[in-house]
Each structure stands twice: as C-alpha cells, then as structure tokens.
C-alpha cells in the first residue's frame, strides 16, 4: 500500500499503526518520477550526524542543507564534512548550504529545501523536531533515542499518527543490526537443528541478555572526540537506561522475534535500576575541553565529582520470554581496548554467546555452546556449509573445548561501527524508494520506546 506525496517526487510510506489511526484509502499504484533524496541536517549536536554522510549514495543529492544555531557543535559537524570531502581515499563531494540562526527549525520547516530531516543531537529536543518535521510533510531519519521521558513517549505516538496521515516516514538509526557477530547470532537462532527454540528463561537466567560497555573518552574518525558539556546533563541527553539501551532493546526484538509485530501489551517490566558514573573535573575537562562544570550541572555535583546517571539495567518479559538489558559507561577504556558488547541467546539445543573481552582481543566473537551430545558438531558444520555461507561466505568453525565452538567470521564482514551508519542509510533509502517500511517496524519502534520508558519509570521508583 502506497500514498502519493504532495511536494516531493518520491513515493512515500504508508505506516501501519493501529485501528484507531486515521483510515487511508487504498489507491491504485501510479508511476511517480523518483528524484534525488535531499538531506537536511537539523541542529547537529552529536557526531553521528556527520557519520551519516561519511559516504555518498547514488540516490542522494550531493547538496545538503544544514539548519542550526551558531556554535561549536555545528562547526564540528561542518569540519567533519570537510574532512570527508578532502580525504585521500574514498573522498566525498558534499556541497553544504548552511543556515545559522535561532529560528533554524522554523526556517527548515517553512522553506523545506530537502525532503528528509537528519537529526542527531540533544535528545531532549529530538521529539519536538520530529513532530515539527512530520507536520511539515518531511521524512525523519533520526539518531537514537527518539524520546527520553514519559512526556516524550506520548509525543512520539502522536508523531507516528501524523506521519501516517501525511505519508511520510519516521525511522531511527539502528546501527547494531549490522554488526557481523550480531547478524550471525540471529542467523544461528533461526536454525532449529543448531539452536532449537528460544527458551522462556527466568529473571536470574533470561532467555536473551545484552550488555554494552561504553567510554566517554574515545576516538572518532581518528581524532579524540570532544563531547559537548550538555552530553553529561541527563535532562538533555537522557539517562543511560533510555539512551544506549535503545539499541539493546531493539536487538532483543529484532533477534528473538524477527519480522513479528510486538505490541507494548506483550512487555512486562520486572525490575530496573540506575546508578551514576563519577567524573572528576580533570576528566570532564579532557572530554569536553571546558575549564569548569557549567551551572546546569551543579545539581549533579557531589563531593566525589560529577555524578552522571548513565548506567542502567532492566529485566523484563517480552512475548513470554525473559530478557535482560544493561548499559555501563566508564571514563576511558584501557589502552588497546574500546567499547564492548556481551550477548547471549539461550536455546533448547545450544547457547549463542557474543564476548568481547581480553581473550577475544577486545573484538566481538560469537561462540556456540552445545546442550547436546556428539552429533551436535555435525549439525553445526552442516549449518555453516549450507545456511550460514549464503550470507557469510568463508565462515568457519573452531573447537574451543568440549561442547563449545568459536565462529570465525571473515574480516571483510567486520567493517566497524562508523561504517554501519552507511549501511543503515542504504537500507533507509530502499524503504524511501519502495514507499513503505516493513509492517513490523513502526509498531516495534513504539514498543521499543515503551520498554525503555517503562524501565526508566521503574528505576526512578527505587
């Protein structure tokens, strides 16, 4: 089902929500001339905004439009685009047209020189930007999270209804779906001969668990990342339990229930907690370049330093299965390490475990842990040869110990976090061209944010 657009020559999506949404009549398919997608970047306050344009795309016009208030954040975005344009290998050729002023949002929605709004910055403002965009008939391509509090979640539900009425698309950037070990974990979980079925689990031993460890000080595109001071204000960035956990909750739904619509009524929050990471003034200075804590952070300053509530953990039931998600932030990773990810899916025949510790040289590695006898290795090798090779040709299996194997994925599939933004964007562009999202994407986005907000409310009770 598709709808015509009013002001741009791209077939836009009809989003499927619920019976209470406005009814849209089914129309006969008509040929529409497909022009280039034109990107408008709004208020780029996070480096993810630039990573969307680290590569170029045939479907996207080389002229991009930037609407933002004046300041260091938009300057940093423009600098990164210049770096991409001037690099020796795989250089881009973006032509940037910039409007800087306090009325940047009204300017974008009134002039609309593009048809897709890209937004990555202050999470507190993001849902208002999304609402303004869909009301103006613009598509939205947004960094996570779309919302960080209960009030924002109500606005998000409204935004999806308006997007459907106006025939435009809201899509959040879920890069972790393209990480090779995660993709492999999902693929193995779909093989009954190897995985069996996902068990129900318990709160103590969930059917699916995911944990990520992040660091405030890190390198992006080869340079130390300078984070804005507001990044450490949970009123602007959001607490960890509603920020990074968005990726993990998304992966739980995407892996455990592929291509299925999951309604929020199928989610039961069992427990949730939050705790701070403490930054000294020196550490804060190293990450932000600021000499002092700004006034708006005084509420979070204690004797031991700046308390940032960026850590969170939740245990919940989803579609009858227990799941656990947790996120941890440290100041800086030890030399030679970086952000890490741990994940386990427990099946009736095997467990699928992703580790990223010292033994793995801090690179994600997938292990298969059998619950069966000697015949399991034969089933595993057949799966590698037949099903896995279709997507990951060259993958091999290496026995670690009795009942446990390491999956060796060819290096060509390990492209890194920054490059995943290009992959997600390519996917998004295909949805724009086809005029529709998969039927499960919108309801599952709503359920994803329902889950993070439910965890936030439960953690605040403690």
Please write the tens of the pLDDT for every residue from 392-439.
999 999 999 999 999 999 999 988 778 888 899 999 999 999 999 999
How far is it, in rounded angstroms, from Cα 211 to Cα 176? 13
Tally of residues, the chain: 462
Find all residues with CB under 8 Å of 255, minimum gap 6, and list them: 182, 185, 186, 189, 208, 345
Which segments of 84-178 are extended strands (E)? Answer: 95-100, 116-119, 139-142, 170-172
pLDDT, tens digit (0-9, with 9 covering 90-100), for 188-245: 999 999 999 999 999 999 999 999 999 999 877 677 888 889 999 999 999 999 999 9
pLDDT, tens digit (0-9, with 9 covering 90-100), for 288-333: 999 999 999 999 999 889 999 999 999 999 999 999 999 999 998 8
> What pLDDT band is residue 152 in, cutting at 50, 70 and 90?
very high
The predicted model scores a pTM of: 0.89
The pLDDT of residue 340 is: 85
The pLDDT of residue 221 is: 67
User: What are 205's two structure tokens?
Assistant: 């031993």
What would the mean pLDDT of 114-127 be, rounded to a whole number?
96
Long-range contacts (CB closer than 8 Å, 24 or more residues apart) made by 301-307 = 302/278, 304/278, 305/278, 305/279, 305/280, 305/281, 306/232, 306/278, 306/279, 306/280, 306/281, 307/276, 307/277, 307/278
The pLDDT of residue 9 is: 37
**Is 50 exceeded by the pLDDT of residue 12?**
no
pLDDT, tens digit (0-9, with 9 covering 90-100), for 36-76: 899 999 999 888 999 999 999 999 999 999 999 999 999 99
| Burial environment of residue 380 by CB neighbours within 10 A (0 to 12, 13 to 18, 19 or more) | buried
The pLDDT of residue 27 is: 38
The pLDDT of residue 77 is: 95
How far is it, in rounded angstroms, from Cα 279 to Cα 55? 35
The pLDDT of residue 18 is: 38
Cβ proximity of 184 and 194 under 8 Å: no
């Amino acid at each position: 089902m598709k709808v015509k657009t009013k002001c741009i020559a791209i077939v836009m999506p009809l989003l499927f929500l619920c019976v209470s949404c406005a009814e849209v009549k089914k129309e006969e398919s008509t040929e529409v001339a497909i022009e280039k997608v034109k990107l408008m970047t709004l208020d780029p306050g996070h480096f993810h905004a630039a990573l969307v344009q680290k590569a170029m795309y045939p479907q996207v016009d080389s002229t991009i439009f930037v609407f933002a208030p004046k300041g260091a954040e938009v300057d940093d975005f423009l600098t990164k685009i210049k770096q991409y344009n001037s690099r020796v290998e795989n250089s881009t050729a973006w032509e940037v047209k910039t409007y800087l002023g306090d009325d940047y949002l009204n300017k974008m929605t009134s002039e609309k020189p593009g048809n897709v709004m890209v937004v990555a910055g202050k999470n507190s403002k993001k849902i208002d930007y999304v609402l303004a965009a869909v009301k103006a008939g613009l598509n939205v391509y947004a960094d996570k999270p779309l919302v960080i509090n209960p009030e924002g979640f109500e606005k998000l539900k409204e935004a999806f209804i308006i997007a459907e009425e106006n025939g435009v698309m809201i899509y959040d950037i879920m890069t972790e779906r393209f990480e090779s070990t995660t993709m492999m974990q999902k693929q193995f979980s779909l093989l009954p001969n190897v995985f069996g079925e996902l068990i129900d689990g318990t709160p103590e031993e969930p059917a699916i668990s995911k944990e990520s460890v992040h660091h405030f000080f890190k390198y992006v595109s080869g340079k130390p990342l300078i984070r804005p001071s507001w990044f450490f204000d949970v009123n602007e960035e959001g607490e960890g339990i509603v920020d990074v956990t968005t990726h993990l909750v998304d992966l739980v739904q995407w892996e455990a229930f592929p291509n299925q619509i999951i309604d929020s009524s199928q989610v039961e929050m069992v427990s949730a907690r939050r705790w701070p990471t403490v930054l000294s003034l020196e550490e804060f200075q190293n990450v932000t370049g600021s000499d002092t804590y700004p006034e708006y952070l005084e509420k979070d300053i204690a004797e031991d330093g700046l308390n940032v509530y960026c850590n969170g953990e939740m245990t919940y039931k989803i579609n009858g299965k227990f799941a656990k998600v947790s996120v941890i932030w440290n100041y800086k990773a030890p030399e030679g390490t970086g952000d890490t990810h741990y994940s386990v899916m427990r099946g009736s025949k095997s467990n699928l475990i992703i580790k990223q510790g010292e033994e793995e040289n801090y690179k994600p590695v997938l292990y298969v842990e059998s619950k069966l006898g000697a015949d399991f290795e034969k089933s595993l090798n057949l799966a590698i040869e037949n099903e896995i090779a279709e997507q990951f040709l060259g993958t091999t299996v290496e026995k670690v110990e009795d009942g446990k194997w390491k999956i060796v994925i060819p290096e060509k599939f390990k492209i890194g976090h920054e490059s995943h933004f290009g992959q997600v964007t390519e996917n998004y562009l295909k949805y724009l061209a086809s005029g529709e999202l998969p039927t499960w994407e919108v309801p599952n986005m709503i359920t994803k944010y329902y889950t993070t907000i439910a965890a936030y409310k439960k953690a605040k009770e403690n």
